Amino acid sequence: MNVRQDARQPAEVYDAQFVPALFAHWGPVVCAEAGVQKGDRVLDVACGTGALTLAAAKIAGPPGSVVGLDANPEMLAVARRKPAQIDWQEGTAEALPFSDNSFDAVVSQFGFMFFEDKPKALFEMMRVLKPNGRLAVAVCDSVENSPGYGAFALLLDRLFGKEVGDAFRAPFNLGDAGHLREICREADLAEAQVVRRNGKVRFKSIDALVSTERACVWTLGGALSDEQFERLLEESETVLKPFTVGGGMVEFDMPSLIVKARKP
């Protein structure tokens, strides 16, 4: 078997593979939960390469304005190639470089799981909201509620041990509504809601899914040798086969939990 490893930079792999397979379709969903509308000034925190930011810019339109903020300069470099009027800025969620009462809506998708101080990040997002401004922060639901990824995590456990399986599970570590509500209480957001919304994972093939996960520096990147990757790919053909649809595409549910709040 010919073992392939993606030579592109992690941010480029993320934009080319993960965004269309997992994240792009969530942009309109998260914007809807935050009530983003034409003319709004919107901040996307942990914007990555801009999947949610672009959705917000499309809704806010020329009367509005959108800022995409991320701590990773490589992600921002890819984002800045996008043909959109967006203000891309480098910074962290725990110390937002904006004045109080600056935005009509603050949104974030699938970055909150990795923040160092999650209550502080929520506090900062609320600080920069205008009175009556809206917040929506999406995280991955538990891996057990995403059947294809749940099966893949168990396969990693079996082949390489729980440490590798848990590295893959890292993005799903906030998939518990009770835990999210506790974080909200620590951030003085006792009135925040947590809602569950369903989405889909779609990769063009099992090979594409496994190869993309191997290239992800936030989970399996660097964790597997070529020989281990070959074994994983072979075993995945069996384990992930129940999730294939016409033409070999892999498709399964990947729900999210979304924290929603409004500033008094």
Domain region containing 181:
10-262
Mean pLDDT, residues 192-213: 94
Strands (E), the chain: 41-45, 65-70, 87-90, 103-109, 129-140, 193-197, 200-203, 250-253, 256-262
> Residue 129 domain-assigned?
yes
Residue 4, domain member (yes or no): no
Question: What is the enclosing helix (H) or strand (E) of 62?
Answer: none
Do the beta carbons of residue 186 and residue 13 sit within 8 Å?
no
Whether residue 154 lies inside any domain: the answer is: yes
The model's pLDDT over 137-146, given as tens digits with 9 standing for 90+, comes to 999 999 999 9
The whole-chain average pLDDT of the chain stands at 94
**pLDDT: is 13 or 97 the higher one?**
97
Higher pLDDT, 212 or 125: 125
In total, how many domains does the chain have? 1
pLDDT (mean) for 249-257:
97
pLDDT at 18 over 70: yes
Say what the pLDDT of residue 98 is.
98
217: pLDDT confidence band, cut at 50, 70 and 90? Answer: low
What pLDDT score does 218 carry? Answer: 72
Query: What pLDDT shows up at residue 147?
Result: 97
User: In this structure, is residue 240 part of a structural domain?
Assistant: yes
Residue 184 has pLDDT above 50, yes or no: yes
Q: Please report whether residue 2 resides in a domain.
A: no
What average pLDDT does range 165-171 have in this prediction? 94
CA distance 173 to 256: 12
Check pLDDT > 90 for residue 115. yes
pLDDT for position 146 = 97
- Helix or strand holding residue 193 (H, E): strand 193-197
Q: What is the DSSP string of 83-109?
A: SS--EEEE--GGG-SS-TT-EEEEEEE
- Reported as a pLDDT band with limits 50, 70 and 90, residue 133 is very high
- Residue 248 domain-assigned (yes or no): yes
High-pLDDT (> 90) share of the chain, %:
85
Whether the predicted pLDDT of 51 surpasses 60: yes
* Percent of the chain surpassing pLDDT 70: 97
Residue 5 lies in a domain: no
* pLDDT for position 37: 98
- Confidence tier at 83 by pLDDT (50, 70, 90): confident
Degrees, nearest 5: CA angle 258-157-228: 115
The model scores a pTM over 0.85: yes
CATH code of the domain containing 160: 3.40.50.150
| 100 belongs to a structural domain | yes
